[in-house]
Amino acid sequence: MNKTLLTIAVLGLLTLLTSAYYSAPADSRIGYKAPALALGNCNNGLSPLQQHRGSNVLLTFWSSADAQSRLDNMRYDRLSRDAGKHFVHVSVNMDRSMSVFNSTTALDNLDRSAQFYSSIDVQDDIIKHWRLDEGYHSFLLDASGVIVAVDPDERMLAQLK
């Protein structure tokens, strides 16, 4: 009887200890850890999300052909340049042509350090993992990489600390 209780206690303790190291699955919905973002062409494969780990990140997906996402990207780019900002803007372009991306970022006067082009070979994976099949969105990630808002407004971004 004592061995049975001891075995149950040890198994319970092991379960408790291992569950403390369990991380939530990645998903592009609010409350979940953000999926990985491999663009295939950034800093030797280092994702822009990895570069800004520990900061609030506003991740914007857009295309030159999608007017609303392009306007949203321009608005977020402008907001990210404000002196009192408490987030980093990471913008991912989903155009099929890098030359279109380069022309559009110049025409829209975007901060080039925040703009990334997604290579064509990874775009399908990005669309799948970030659930972009019905349109492009922006995601606000907290310092631990958890999605706290989708398509946040200016008021929400202003409240970040």
Q: How many domains would you assign to the chain? A: 1
In a domain, 1, yes or no: no
User: Is residue 47 a part of any domain in this protein?
Assistant: yes
Q: What is the CATH number of the domain that holds 47?
A: 3.40.30.10
Considering the domain boundaries, does residue 140 fall inside one?
yes
Instruction: Encode pLDDT of 38-80 as tens digits.
Output: 776 554 455 777 777 888 999 999 999 999 999 999 999 999 9
Residue 82 lies in a domain: yes
For residue 63, tell me if it sits in a domain: yes
Greatest C-alpha distance within the chain = 77
How much is the pTM? 0.79
pLDDT at 122 exceeding the cut of 70: yes
User: CA-CA distance, 159 to 161, in Å (whole number)?
Assistant: 6
